[in-house]
Amino acid sequence: MRLTHFGHSCVLVELNGSKILFDPGNFSHGFEGITGLDAILVTHQHPDHADPARLPELAEANPDAVLYSDPQTAEKLGGRWTGVRPGDRFSIGDVEVTGTGGEHAIIHPDLPMIDNTAFLLGDATNPAQFMHPGDSLYVPEQKVDVLALPAAAPWLKISEAIDYLRAVAPRVAVPIHQAIIRDEATGIFYGRYSEMAADGTEFRVLGEESSVEVA
């Protein structure tokens, strides 16, 4: 598995010969002009995960890529987009994809809930080699190898992120969703996650727009 982080929640996963891009949002950068994608996966409709200005052009530049998202976003975007509900399974080349979760984390009780599909990537032997939870703290029943961990968010306390990291207990955790905090503040969050992860979990920060082999 090879990961490239384009800031915030946008991650390119190269796995089993397929190139899958997650959540190209308006807080992310560097994904513009990427071609040769096999799939674009969007967890939910918020613009920091699905940039309404750049996403259509990205999809147009990758005409052979399959486009999947949560049901509400797929209905909103139309065209080639297909909605994925919890329990849905499909293949992208030799990668098996499972939709899970279903709802965005609560920002405030007065705000309406929206769809959020968390995605698991893997194969028949290990269906959760990689997990992107979007804006949720959903703990799947499958054992996760590499977790994209929400690091900071309006809906998230650091204690909740630590408990989530411990509950999933992945082999490797990489932080995402950090664009809402200044670079100087990331150490406050990353230090706690590194120190307080479950035994056996490696916390690894990905440099932006640089690729790293994780498995």
Helix, strand, coil percent content, the chain, rounded in steps of 5: 20, 30, 50
Give the model's pLDDT for residue 43.
Answer: 98
pLDDT in tens, 66-107: 999 999 999 999 999 999 999 999 999 999 999 999 999 999
Q: What is the pLDDT of residues 121-163, one digit of tens each?
A: 999 999 999 999 999 999 999 999 999 999 999 999 999 999 9
pTM, whole model, 2 decimals? 0.95
CA-to-CA dists, residue 87 to 38, 100, 119, 130, angstroms: 21, 6, 10, 16
Q: Yes or no: is domain 2-213 CATH 2.60.120.10? A: no
pLDDT at residue 211 greater than cutoff 90: no
- CA 91 to chain CA mean position, Å: 17
**DSSP at 108:** -
φ, ψ of residue 31 in degrees (nearest 5):
-85, -10
Q: Which of 29-33, 86-90, 211-215 has the lowest mean pLDDT?
A: 211-215
3-state secondary structure of 38: coil
> What is d(CA 190, CA 170) in angstroms, rounded to the nearest whole number?
16
Cβ-count burial of 7 within 10 angstroms (0-12 exposed, 13-18 middle, 19+ buried)? buried
Q: Are 137 and 118 in contact (CB under 8 A)?
A: no
